[in-house]
Structure 1
Amino acid sequence: MTMGGFKKFLLRGNVIELAVAVVIGTAFTAIVNSFVRDLLTPAISAIAGKPDFGSLELQIGSASITYGNFLNALVSFLIVATVVYFFIVRPYELLMTRFRPTEKETRDCPECLTEVPKAATRCSACTTQLTPVS
């Protein structure tokens, strides 16, 4: 059993890119969590009068449902989703529409190879009957 296949797998570009993405994602998550925990939550709690979302809970009989940490996680998710959409997805889409090759409006005549419109039913150069293409 050789290690060549495993070595080839590890050295492929997409494995390295995935590792870099995980490291960057982990670092970004730490930043967002700190932003929510240290800046956003105290600002919101100053308005709402609650110092920490983590301590929020709902009492139903003898059961205690803690939902504060869920609120923190939800706010973190919304911030990450917003940042990813507006700073990664949206600019990428705009860039791709700018550089996306436009679809040709013409085609070649199969007989004489003259360029004719896709909707043409007859070649203007050799008068060959053509089937329109939409």
Structure 2
Amino acid sequence: MGNKKGMIAEFKEFVLRGNVVDLAVGVIIGAAFQAIVNSLVKDIISPLIGVITGGVDFSSKFLLLYNVPEGADVSNLQAAKVLGPVFAYGSFITAVINFFIMAFVIFLMIKAINSMRGKKQQAEPAAPVDKECPYCFKRVNISATRCPYCTSHLGIQQETVQQD
């Protein structure tokens, strides 16, 4: 019984961890974004490309991989698939074209979002935390007064000791 409580507590800790919640939000937003991009490609960009190319529809292009029975109708892809296997290269070409259109649209959207955010200020370089010993050339802490490797004095003017 103690193992179940430990497992439940471990699961609760896993689910409430920030990364899991962030991932869930990202997946939900990604699904919504996918619907927007799909609609943009399907309803706006693809019809424009169809007008430009004269209405060429690659998705209906296919090759039969069987002998057509006499009197059979193979005028469209669905009818040809019912009769036997087909090599539907047009569907693949359409999918590749849609992929490149979607990738370009997403690129433009991300570019627009980034420009709305404004240019990120470049971070100033961090202050150095170490320096090089001029004698043994090892890296030592910047506040060191003596090199831990060769015991040389670092960056300190040696005071002249007055002898009495």
Shorter-chain TM-score: what band? 0.5 to 0.7
Q: 1:65 aligns with which of 43, 67, 89?
A: 89
Greater RCO structure (CA 8 Å; 6+ sep): 2
What number of residue pairs does the alignment pair up? Answer: 115
Deviation of 1:16 after TM superposition, in Å, equals 0.5
Report the structure number with the largest CA radius of gyration: 2
Distance 1:51 1:64, change over 3 A: closer
Deviation of 1:13 after TM superposition, in Å, equals 0.9
TM-score of the superposed pair, with normalisation by structure 1? 0.65
The answer on whether the counterparts of 2:144 and 2:154 sit within 8 Å (CA) in structure 1 is: no
Look up the match of 2:145.
Answer: 111
Give unmatched runs, 5+ long, in structure 1: 113-120, 128-134
Give unmatched runs, 5+ long, in structure 2: 67-86, 131-141, 147-152, 159-164
Look up the match of 2:29.
Answer: 24
Look up the match of 1:115.
Answer: none
Aligned partners of 2:128, 2:145: CA distance in 1, in Å? 19
The answer on whether the counterparts of 2:50 and 2:57 sit within 8 Å (CA) in structure 1 is: yes
Do residues 14 (structure 1) and 14 (structure 2) align?
no
The alignment yields a C-alpha RMSD, in angstroms, of 3.6
The answer on whether the counterparts of 2:145 and 2:154 sit within 8 Å (CA) in structure 1 is: no
Do residues 126 (structure 1) and 157 (structure 2) align?
yes
Counterpart of 2:123, as a letter, is: R
Counterpart of 2:28, as a letter, is: V
